[in-house]
Chains A and B, each alone.
Chain A
């Protein structure tokens, strides 16, 4: 990968990687650090990275970096807490995207990452598996569960409203 190709990668993928990480971490500064580290690694290994695979390389590095970061920080996230009071608080949420984001925030990091890699980046199960170090069937099952969980949340919220 040449210097020009690297800078092209920044233009093309920095926003995508940042979106992927910031939606997972929900902390802008930390997400920025992770993205910077990912690009730093890409720059250092640019000789070995094929330009065509730079995007998945970036996502792989960023995902691993994010997992490391989460292990270090051990932040407490709200996960799978579909409690009654939470749903009541969400009564005012009438925007479909906002509801979906709420539901997405309640997924585990793995499930959330799977959904985002699939929907935002359009990766195949196989590619997602490579990025997240899972096999294809794992990706399929986890992703489908995540979808059903999202569906359950959306339907319930709609029922309450």
Chain B
């Protein structure tokens, strides 16, 4: 704490706190103490503040430490005790040990003392087992280093397995012939599987067509009326009762059945592409151009693709759906003249 000389000459309202603290710490000269006393008389309102400050001083306490423990005689153990303690701790040399043993044997007090001290020894046979030793056991993991030839062999094996998987595909994956899909599906189990796959494709497609119908009811009706004659032919040719059971599940409603048959009509029609194109172009003048284009161009492409390979179906089907959705929402045909999807050239109609 540093004060300027002028500050310490006279106590006033600006520096009285410093004076009070120094007063409490007994750091003031006699003259300064007198000055503080006079200041307090002149300013009785500061007396309470002064008393509070004085009360923070710790009171003197009488504290007596028991010094007996520190005295030299207590610091030293009695020689008898010490010898006996060293004896029971087995810390004595052999010659000293023998002396103690003789003393114990001859002196009863010594023996008694020894007996008492022996009682303080813990029993080493007392066992407390660790609850779960298994958690303490450790094992080092052996790291098998793969040499070059092992790596090469592993790579060759991988390629071989991959090659077998790729080139020896199960026959169920190979697509059935498009036109005779239904009848072929009845004959063999593999073909049944492929028929089921196609069935799902067939069911999904009408649902899309239904959406289109909802937006273009008028044109769809016209299409229906034009196709009615062909339906009968197709029913006779393709949708025999066997085929219907193969294509449609029992819980399917008659409407679904009808839709399936319609789709079958489309598939059959694709075998005769010019006829379909002709009918659509003539009978659907009100349908938007993009939809028309899709009906006339995409359906044959779809049929070809599906008959070529069912493996590509899922991805292509997804792309087709995406294409149609964009087309439906925006009215823009995202395919080119060859019916190929234009990716990266998306135009969205904001109207």
Please report A residues at the B interface, Cβ cutoff 8 Å.
Answer: 3, 6-7, 10-11, 14-15, 17-19, 22-23, 28, 32, 35-36, 39, 43, 96-97, 100, 103-104, 115-116, 118-122, 124-125, 140-141, 143-145, 147-148, 150-151, 154-155
Given known A15-B128, A122-B124, contact A3–B138 (CB-CB < 8 A): yes
Contacts A6-B138, A18-B130, A39-B136 given: A154-B122 contact, CB under 8 Å? no
B149 to chain A, nearest CB (A): 30
B37 at the interface (CB under 8 A from A): no
Contact across chains for B120 and A150 when beta carbons are under 8 A apart: yes
Give the chain B neighbours of A145 by CB distance below 8 A: 77
A124 touches B77 (CB 8 A): no
Which residues of chain B are near A7, meaning CB under 8 Å?
Answer: 137-138
Indicate whether B133 reaches chain A with its CB closer than 8 angstroms.
yes
Interface string of B77-92 (1 = CB under 8 A from A): 1000110011011110
A28 contacts B117, C-beta separation under 8 Å:
no
- Tell me if A36 and B136 are in contact (CB < 8 A): yes
Residue from A14, A96, A148 within 8 A of B77 (CB atoms) = A148
- B122 touches which one: A10, A14, A120, A151 (CB < 8 A)? A120
Taken together as a complex, chains A and B put the C-alpha atoms of A133 and B245 apart, in Å, by 90
What 10 pairs across the A-B complex have the smallest Cβ distances?
A119-B122, A150-B120, A19-B128, A18-B130, A14-B130, A10-B136, A39-B136, A144-B85, A147-B120, A120-B124
In the complex, which residues of chain A have a beta carbon less than 8 angstroms from the beta carbon of B135?
36
Inter-subunit contact A151/B130 (CB<8 Å): no
With A11-B133, A19-B128, A39-B136 as known contacts, state yes or no: A116 contacts B120, CB within 8 Å.
no
A contact face: mostly helix, strand, loop, or mixed? helix
How far is B89's CA from A110's CA once the two chains are assembled, in angstroms? 17
Closest chain B residue to A155, Cβ basis? B116
- Which of these, B90, B117, B140, contacts A151 with CB under 8 Å? B117
Smallest beta-carbon distance B1→chain A, Å: 37
Closest to B125 in A: A120
Contact (Cβ within 8 A) B129 A3: no
Contact B81–A148 (Cβ < 8 Å)? yes
Does the CB pair B116–A119 fall under 8 Å? no
Residues on A with beta carbons closer than 8 Å to the beta carbon of B237? none
Quick one: which of B82, B116, B120, B129 contacts A15, CB cutoff 8 A? B129
